[in-house]
Amino acid sequence: MPLGRSGRTEQAGLTEARLPHCGGLHTRDGSVDYFQIAGGKRLRGTVEISGSKNAALPIMAASILCEGEVVLHNVPDLADVRSMEVLLNKLGVATSREAGGTVRLKVQDEMNCHADYELVRKMRASVCVMGPLLAKRHKAQVSMPGGCNIGDRPINLHIAGLTGLGADTDLMSGDLLLKAKRLTGAELFLGGPFGSTVTGTANILMAATLAEGRTVIESAACEPEVTDLANFLKACGAQISGEGSPRITVDGVKQLKGCEYTIIPDRIEAGTFMIAGAITNGDIHLRNCRLEHLLAVVDRLRQIGVNIEREGEEVVVSSSRRLEPTTVTSQPYPGFPTDLQAQIMALLCLADGNSIITEKIYPDRFMHVAELNRLGAVLRKEGPTVIVEGVKRLIGAPVMASDLRASAALVLAGLVAKGETTVNRVYHIDRGYERIERKLRPLGADIERLNRATEDS
């Protein structure tokens, strides 16, 4: 809860087992690095928001389609991005990283078309290579990703879209095999039981750029990351219109060329730091933040009592001492993002009253509930909904991260909890936040990354 209140108180070439994550190493079971947080510090200062992970990954995969070099700027240095580099290396794409978030990619060998289980199980975004491989190399063999800690996430819509473009599919030893001598444009519907598929839209969009004729994607995902992918593909020579709307039209071309492109800022990281400012009753200035990508989040935060204003090129976040309860329902963009559901739950734990959070994208995405309760929260799960009863304060304790955004929520809760909080399995947070403790410390947070292997030696 906001402080002072008397009341209520988420290298290319290395083996996957030791992928670097912005300066550290982790084991597969996450037993090495952990965060030690002493709560009770108001956050003040300026933080730079990194490039979008969810935009960078499919754009990097799209380099498979291109003739010539692709130069990407504002690429975040994350475990998932490094995993994508490793996968692309295996698929014949040379990658090199430069200071300042620039990554260069160039196809050198088109023989390998297999994204194997060891990488896909580690990073579901590996399935993004399916569309580009099929379109450019006429074959894709990608391990089926299976379930994950936020619930079942099938790729049936990806498969339906690619077969609609003319691919033949088969399943062998847990791998999905797709082949097509040529892809032909078609009218495709990508709506699913929980809304449009973001990664599925990306896969079909990339494949359609080299298909013969026109492809119309109905019920396409409208997320800014999909729009960013479309803008990148257009910079490479693709003919695309309607991106950012539920109907995207693609007229296939014979070839795409490399280009130079800058990735959009990460709206989820920006939203996380907004909530960090709110939960500590702080005053944070965000640079490289596109407020227009966060309107649903801003709406809910303002209703809770968080002040969010533009000041020149920055976004300023502060909060009142008394937080109001509210209702939150995750929805496809432009609705409230599922990737900020856990973080806003941490904030609402300290609101003055009861809040209701409903998850409509991944109904099982509530593994953070039990861990927040360990910190003194009062949360009750009822199906896809959690009832949040506001409390006066949270109390530090050891907690275990279960997924990327849940780990961010536990860090946020630790920042305000009385005493010390230990967040284990921080390799989850390294997948999507660029060394988050190094961004929090200059704001005044008492957070340290520790390493048990070093302590035990």
- Both tokens of 277, joined, read 């400012």
For the segment 12-29, what is each residue's pLDDT rounded down to a tens digit? 333 333 333 333 444 444
- Candidate list 128, 148, 259, 289, residue with the active-site label: 148
Over residues 286-304, the pLDDT tens digits come to 999 999 999 999 999 999 9
Asked, for residue 161, whether it belongs to a domain, the answer is: yes
pLDDT value at position 455? 58
Q: What pLDDT was estimated at residue 146?
A: 52
pLDDT for the residue numbered 11: 32
* pLDDT recorded at residue 324: 97
Does residue 336 lie within any of the structural domains? yes
For the chain, the domain total comes to 2
Residue span of the structural domain in which 95 resides: 53-262
What percent of the chain has a predicted confidence (pLDDT) above 90?
A: 82
Distance set, CA 26 to CA 22, 86, 272, 408 (Å): 11, 16, 23, 17
Q: Is residue 378 one of the residues assigned to a domain?
A: yes
Separation of alpha carbons 120 and 129, rounded Å: 10
pLDDT at 454: 55
112 band by pLDDT with thresholds 50, 70 and 90: very high
What pLDDT is recorded for position 423? Answer: 97
Mean pLDDT of 215-244: 98
The per-residue DSSP string of 83-119 comes to HHHHHHHHTTEEEEEETTTEEEEEE------EE-HHH
Name the strand (E) or helix (H) holding 381: strand 378-382
pLDDT band with cut points at 50, 70 and 90 for residue 122: confident
pLDDT score, position 20: 37
What's the pLDDT band for 149 if we cut at 50, 70, 90?
Answer: low
Residues 7-11, mean pLDDT to the nearest whole number: 31
Residue 457: the pLDDT is 45
pLDDT at position 279, please? 98
Q: What is the pLDDT of residue 21?
A: 37
The per-residue pLDDT for 362 is: 87
Is residue 192 assigned to a domain?
yes
Q: Within this chain, do residues 186 and 77 fall inside the same structural domain, yes or no?
A: yes
Banded model confidence at residue 150, pLDDT cuts 50, 70, 90: very low
Mean pLDDT of all residues in the chain? Answer: 90
423: domain CATH number is: 3.65.10.10
| 242 and 347 fall within a common domain | no
Domain co-membership, 226 together with 210 = yes
User: With b meaning 16 or more CB within 10 Å and e meaning fewer, what string describes 353-392?
Assistant: eebebbbbbbbebbbbbebbbbbbbebeeeebbbebebbe
Average pLDDT for residues 414-425, to the nearest whole number? 97
Answer yes or no: is 357 within a domain: yes
d(CA 183, CA 454): 53
Q: Do 232 and 287 reside in the same domain of the chain?
A: no
Q: How confident is the model at residue 6 (pLDDT cuts 50, 70, 90)?
A: very low
Per the annotation, the verdict on 148 as an active-site residue is yes
Final residue belonging to a domain, choices 221, 240, 262:
262
Same domain, 194 and 288: no
Last residue of a domain, one of 240, 262, 284: 262
Of 312, 229, 315, 305, give the one whose Cα is nearest residue 49. Answer: 315
**Average pLDDT over every residue of 135-156:** 76
pTM attached to this predicted model: 0.91
Q: Are residues 350 and 378 in the same domain?
A: yes
pLDDT mean over 330-344: 97
Same domain, 100 and 236: yes
Domain membership of residue 10 (yes or no) is no
pLDDT for the residue numbered 229: 98
Q: In this structure, are 24 and 90 located in the same domain?
A: no
Same domain, residue pair 344 and 412: yes
In a domain, 5, yes or no: no
Same domain assignment for residues 30 and 77: no
- Average pLDDT (409-431) is 96
pLDDT digits 0-9 by tens, 180-221: 999 999 999 999 887 889 999 999 999 999 999 999 999 999
Last residue of a domain, one of 244, 262, 280: 262
